[in-house]
């Protein structure tokens, strides 16, 4: 997976219209976006279909899927039918739940990203003690793509060591949450950035500044 400029834009905006307004200005420098609940709960999965059709970009749906296998299968099926290329899946629910998403993704020619440890402070409370085990589970399952935090680089490094150099690791938490783009890219293949770009008065300049600050 080649992510243009190593930046994935998190489109956590309230309307498809707003997402399109932002993408009209930024799409030349991006080929991958992440769409999550803020947009999909407001506008439906049509927002995924529309962004995909309009820009031909790769769409990662960040639904942090965490249910029983039978329900995970339905969530994944609907997501890929809408045109998503990849789906972010929680690992803490166990191998059978993650496997259900992986199998459904494969059926659709899509991929999953296994979420190991989250980027916010609360992740230290319950998730952190098991996050390396989640990464190990992913390796055992043959999962290629992972999500890890840019806000704790020591942990990101450990995740990278577990999943190996050939796996694909993306990292949220850059910017508003405190993560540094270049430092994160020492361990991650691409960074996820949302508010630092879409809330800026000049999103084009904000994106260009991040691109300028990283070694491509
Ligand atoms: P900001 O605005 O903080 O947006 O740049 C970050 C985006 O990433 C999501 N996020 C995560 N997604 N694991 C994930 O799968 C995480 O640990 C994580 N932390 C933040 C967040 O919802 C937003 O879309």
DSSP 195: H
Residue 110 lies in domain: 4-213
Which residue intervals of 32-176 are DSSP H helices?
A: 37-43, 46-55, 69-81, 95-107, 128-141, 153-163
Q: Is 80 annotated as a binding residue?
A: no
- What CA–CA distance (Å, rounded) separates 15 from 71? 27
Give the mean pLDDT of the chain.
Answer: 97
- Structural domain count of the chain: 1
What is the predicted pLDDT for the residue at 213? Answer: 94
Instruction: Report the DSSP pairing between strands 86-90 and 58-65.
Output: parallel
pLDDT of amino acid 215: 82
Catalytic positions, please?
A: 62, 64, 67
* Residue spans of the chain under pLDDT 70: none
| Ligand 1 geometric centre to CA of 212 (Å) | 22
Q: What pLDDT, on the 0 to 100 scale, is given for residue 216?
A: 78
Atom of ligand 1 nearest to the CA of 195: 2
ipTM confidence score: 0.96
- Ligand 1 pocket, 39 CB below 6 A? no
Closest ligand 1 atom, CA of 118?
Answer: 17
Cβ(175) – ligand 1 distance below 6 Å: yes
Assign residue 74 the CATH number of its domain.
3.20.20.70
Half-sphere exposure (Cβ direction) of 81: Cα atoms closer than 13 Å: 8
Distances (CA, A) of 125 to 23, 121, 152: 36, 8, 14
Cα atoms found within 13 Å of the Cα of residue 144, Cβ hemisphere only? 9
Q: Is 175 labelled as part of a ligand binding site?
A: yes
Cβ of 200 closer than 6 Å to ligand 1, yes or no, is: no
pLDDT per residue as tens digits for the range 49-96 = 999 999 999 999 999 999 999 999 999 999 999 999 999 999 999 999
Identify the pLDDT of residue 132: 98
3-state secondary structure of 58: strand
- Tell me the CA–centroid distance for residue 172 and ligand 1, in Å: 5
pLDDT at 1: 72
Sign of CA dihedral 8, 13, 19, 23: negative
Pocket test of ligand 1: the residue of 9, 10, 93, 179 to mutate, having most ligand atoms within 8 Å of its CB, is: 10
CA distance 99 to 7: 27
- Ligand 1, atom 20, lies closest to the CA of 172
**Looking at residue 205, what is its pLDDT?**
97
Phi, psi torsion values for 64, nearest 5 degrees: 40, 60
């Amino acid at each position: 997976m080649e992510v243009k400029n190593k930046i994935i834009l998190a489109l956590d905006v309230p309307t498809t219209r707003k997402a399109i307004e932002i993408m009209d200005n930024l799409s030349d420098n991006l080929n991958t976006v992440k769409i999550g609940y803020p947009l999909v709960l407001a506008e439906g999965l049509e927002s995924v279909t529309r962004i995909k059709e309009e820009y031909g970009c790769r769409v990662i749906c960040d639904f942090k899927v965490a249910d029983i296998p039978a329900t995970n299968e339905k969530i994944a099926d609907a997501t890929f039918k809408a045109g998503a290329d990849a789906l972010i899946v929680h690992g803490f629910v166990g191998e059978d739940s993650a496997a259900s998403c992986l199998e459904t993704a494969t059926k659709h020619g899509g991929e999953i990203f296994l979420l190991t440890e989250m980027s916010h402070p609360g992740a230290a409370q319950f998730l952190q003690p098991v996050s390396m085990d989640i990464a190990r589970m992913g390796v055992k399952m043959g999962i290629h793509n992972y999500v890890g935090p840019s806000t704790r680089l020591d942990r990101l490094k450990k995740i990278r060591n577990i999943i190996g150099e050939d796996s694909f690791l993306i990292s949220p938490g850059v910017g508003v949450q405190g993560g540094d783009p270049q430092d994160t890219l020492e361990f991650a293949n691409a960074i996820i950035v949302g508010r630092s770009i879409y809330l800026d008065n000049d999103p084009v300049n904000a994106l260009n500044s991040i691109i300028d600050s990283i070694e491509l």
